[in-house]
Amino acid sequence: MQLTETKLKGCFLIEPTVFEDKRGYFLESYNQKNFNDLIGCNVNFVQDNESYSSKGVLRGLHFQKGEFAQAKLVRVIKGKVLDVALDLRKDSATYGEHYSVELSEENKKQLFVPRGFAHGFVVLSETALFAYKCDNFYNKASEGGVIYNDKTLNIDWQLNADELIISEKDLILPTLENLDL
């Protein structure tokens, strides 16, 4: 497994070791001891989530506040997405900066998004099966978000605005400037 810290401290791109032969492939997608050793802290995932979406579906940018903040380990099982992590840690040198990466069934990359970040993705393939682990349980009263098209973030979602499918809830999220953390 290869681990690379992104420009956002504590946010890591993970490339698993893949063993392929004529039968297909095998990879270890998660090993708690190896994972914690590699990132240098103890993360205990307590919930696994999965979503299925069609091309153009944009989910995000979401986060959980306060005691319900979540770290996530995200990956794509089928299809391809552009995955985005946004640093919301006020004391961070990279506050307000984002990192984006293509995650796909072909590259099998994963992204570790630590607590204090917003997260989102857009589906680039016809459909995508997206899976992620969380280190804290979801709490509806603690959910928050940042609008996907905040001009100060300048995120290139790789699709035209008319191709995006966004929930009503995500369309009314605040900008980073108006965010109440």
**Which residues carry out catalysis?**
62, 132
Match 């979602």 to its residue by tokens. 157
Annotate 78-92 with b (16+ C-beta within 10 A) or e (fewer): ebbbbbbbbbbbeee
d(CA 50, CA 40): 26
Match 């001891």 to its residue by tokens. 33
List residues bridging with 151 in a β-sheet: none
Q: Is 118 helix (H, G, I), strand (E, B) or coil?
A: strand
**How many beta carbons lie within 10 A of that of residue 154, not counting itself?**
8
Is residue 95 a contact partner of residue 69, using CB atoms and an 8 Å limit?
A: no
Is residue 146 a contact partner of residue 174, using CB atoms and an 8 Å limit?
A: yes
Q: Name which of 141, 139, 143, 151 is nearest 176 in CA terms.
A: 151
